[in-house]
Amino acid sequence: MAVPAEGPNPPPPGLAGLLRLLGLQGSLVGVSALSASVAAALGLVPFFVVSRMATAIYAQPPRLDEVRTLALVAVGALLLRYTFVAGSTVLAHVAAFRILHDLRLRIAHKLGAVPLSFFSRRTTGSLKTTLMDDVNQVESFVAHNFPDAVAAVVVPLATAIALVWVDWRMAIASIIVAPFAVGAMAYTMRDGADAHVQWNAIQHRMNSALLEYIRGIKVIKTFGLSAARFGELSRSIQEGLNWMEGFMRTNGRGYGAFGALIGSSLVFLVPAGGWLYSKGELSLEELVLFLVLGPQLLMSMMRLMFAWGNVEKVQVGNARIREILLTPDLEDRAGTRVPAHDGLCFRQVDFRYDEAGPDVLHQVTFDAPAGKVTALVGPSGAGKSTLVKLVPRLWEATGGAVELGGVDVRELPLEQLLSRVSMVFQDVFLFHGTVRDNLRLGRADATEAQLEAACRAARAHDFIRALPQGYDTMLGERGARLSGGEKQRLSIARALLKDAPVLLLDEATAFADPENEARIQEALSELCEGRTVMVVAHRLSTIATADHIVVLEGGAVRDQGTHEELLSRCSLYQRLWASHSDAQDWTLGGADARTSGGMEVAS
Ligand SMILES: Nc1ncnc2c1ncn2[C@@H]1O[C@H](COP(=O)(O)OP(=O)(O)OP(=O)(O)O)[C@@H](O)[C@H]1O
């Protein structure tokens, strides 16, 4: 599917932004609005017909032929009206869905292009609200409100002109309450824009809390937390309720006054009409015309008010869409430099997640030589995982440089950089799709033989074959049908298929199942063969056999060297090694557990 990256700039804020959005499908929207106006004007024809009929019926003798003709005109006008309504609706919906499609694609494309830091400042719920609800609001505005709003302006204007032309005094009587109604509307909507901003913010919080609640439902169930106790969700729902009650308390009177005034035009039309009719200054036809059409004039103001309310709502969503579309992409230099080799080098790297936050890495300097295994070890929170994420530019170093083959990774075209790096992390994400689809993320054009070879090497082929439809088995959301170890092996197969020269590996901290662990280790050995490997190491065997070990503490390199060198001189490494070794011997239920069937934590 083509991404409209070359589409118009993000819509400007406010009303201009909405018009720009409408302009994306200008001709469809224009014809739809025109059809809606014609349809609304045709809707007035029966009122004129009724007024003419009154004189025809009360004539002496009654002009029945004219009544019949007028009835046919009314029916014809109504049929024509429905044709225009249908045309307007279809065109408006087509335009709206095209705009919706364009916006969603552009937002999705943008989300794929922005740096990861963009997401750390937002919740998934708020992004979902923009991608779905805000865009839907634009769709609904284009499909429903815009044609309605145009008709709601055009028709009262045309009606007012027609009524003034028939009798200006009665025309004034028809709209005499309008200034008061407008006053009531202005009073009611005085804080309309602010109110929409507040309401939208509450909805965002509600969405985020709801999403988190669903995601964390296992923990909530495990700890017996009911919805009411899940603080943020129940608070945001209560907040929404309070806001709505407050809004209605403040604005209910204004809405009531507006509704009453809009519906009260007959109070003025009946006495004024009766008086003018009795003086012979108004014909029966004109009197009936004002009695049936006069109230309609004000009723269309009601539609205008609803349309305006929606304009404000869409503007709030439009501002959020705009904010996303204006976020700068991760800079992608179309450089011509080619890495001289597949070694990694960290040169005085500083990093912090938040501009205002503390440094997570300071002056980190070390080499991960080509074709060798470099292990990162250190206490929890030392910055090991963060360091690994700087290589594929998931995050950008705030100082110093990360180099691949002697070239700063920021100087390499992103596609080239990413094609050289594979990542196997503990938290494996599998997309909703078949096993084969998930594997092909590694290499889209892989042949069946290549897929199978990679899965055999990753020790995944047998369990995939045992699945109900083998490689065609659908994996549920987040690959729910596979065990943690199986997911790991699938991600190793994916990395094998990608066949990138640099491998970044975040080892799993523990496996409950020794058989699974043994298979994963075999698969990893196949994967590491001949590549530059940088591994966040948790296993003794990986640590002891690594070519180079970097010891991190508090975001800085404490020491580096081989296992033997570090054991002889680095006290932190000695402590880490000792605690790893202790963990190796540790079993749940004491030393006897192995023989008595207790669960082993480490094999
Ligand atoms: N997305 C994030 N936003 C802000 N701070 C973060 C983020 N991820 C990690 N940190 C912080 O950065 C520091 C280093 O974390 P990191 O995950 O790199 O450590 P680690 O050595 O891999 O720890 P572990 O072995 O426990 O996984 C920690 O203080 C952590 O709280």
Bridge partners (DSSP) of residue 377 are 551
> Per the structure block, which two tokens stand in for 382?
């030392």
CA–centroid distance, 117 to ligand 1, in Å, is: 14
Query: What's residue 592's pLDDT?
Result: 40
Q: What is the DSSP letter of 270?
A: H
Q: Is 475 helix (H, G, I), strand (E, B) or coil?
A: strand
Could you tell me if 419 and 501 are in contact, meaning their C-beta atoms sit under 8 angstroms apart? no
CA–centroid distance, 350 to ligand 1, in Å, is: 14
Summarised one tens digit per residue, pLDDT across range 227-259 is: 555 677 778 888 888 888 888 887 788 888 888
- 594 pLDDT exceeds 60? no
CA–centroid distance, 78 to ligand 1, in Å, is: 68
The lowest-confidence range among 81-90, 230-239, 489-498 is: 230-239
Summarised one tens digit per residue, pLDDT across range 291-303 is: 888 887 777 767 7
- In angstroms, rounded to a whole number, what is the distance separating the alpha carbons of residues 298 and 179? 11
Torsion, Cα of 247, 251, 256, 257 (10° steps): 180
First to last CA, the chain: 49
Ligand 1 site-directed mutation target among 124, 364, 385, most atoms within 8 Å of CB: 385
CA–centroid distance, 427 to ligand 1, in Å, is: 15
Mean pLDDT across 366-372: 91
- In angstroms, rounded to a whole number, what is the distance separating the alpha carbons of residues 280 and 275? 9
Name the residue among 7, 16, 34 with its Cα closest to residue 98: 7
Q: Enumerate the domain spans of the chain.
A: 14-177+263-326, 344-593
CA–centroid distance, 398 to ligand 1, in Å, is: 16
Ligand 1 site-directed mutation target among 350, 386, 391, 550, most atoms within 8 Å of CB: 386
What does each C-alpha distance from 55 to 67, 174, 269, 319, 516 come to in angstroms? 9, 21, 19, 56, 93
Minimum-distance ligand 1 atom for the alpha carbon of 380 = 26
Please, which pLDDT band fits residue 390 given cuts at 50, 70 and 90?
very high
- In angstroms, rounded to a whole number, what is the distance separating the alpha carbons of residues 22 and 56? 47
Domain 14-177+263-326 has CATH 2.60.40.640: no
- 479 pLDDT exceeds 70? no
Summarised one tens digit per residue, pLDDT across range 530-561 is: 889 898 988 777 788 889 999 999 999 999 99
Mean pLDDT across 45-66: 82
Q: Is 349 exposed, middle or buried (0-12, 13-18, 19+ CB in 10 A)?
A: buried
Minimum-distance ligand 1 atom for the alpha carbon of 378 = 21
CA–centroid distance, 235 to ligand 1, in Å, is: 30
- In angstroms, rounded to a whole number, what is the distance separating the alpha carbons of residues 344 and 361? 17
Q: Other CB atoms closer than 10 Å to residue 16's CB: what's the count?
A: 10
Instruction: For residue 499, report the phi and psi dihedrals to the nearest 5 degrees.
Output: 55, 45
> Per the structure block, which two tokens stand in for 106?
């552009």
Residue nearest atom 30 of ligand 1, based on CA coordinates: 381
> Per the structure block, which two tokens stand in for 346?
């960290």
The lowest-confidence range among 315-319, 507-511, 572-576 is: 507-511
- 463 pLDDT exceeds 80? yes
Mean pLDDT across 195-202: 79
> Per the structure block, which two tokens stand in for 297?
């004039």
Mean pLDDT across 329-340: 78
Query: What's residue 209's pLDDT?
Result: 79
- 369 pLDDT exceeds 80? yes
Measured from CB, residues less than 6 Å from any atom of ligand 1 are: 120, 353, 360, 378, 380-386
Higher pLDDT pick, 211 / 577: 577
Query: What's residue 514's pLDDT?
Result: 65
Instruction: For residue 341, report the phi and psi dihedrals to the nearest 5 degrees.
Output: -155, -175
Summarised one tens digit per residue, pLDDT across range 87-144 is: 988 888 888 888 888 888 888 888 888 887 777 767 777 778 788 888 888 888 788 7
Could you tell me if 351 and 400 are in contact, meaning their C-beta atoms sit under 8 angstroms apart? no
Mean pLDDT across 22-46: 81
Assign domain 344-593 to its CATH architecture.
3-Layer(aba) Sandwich (3.40)
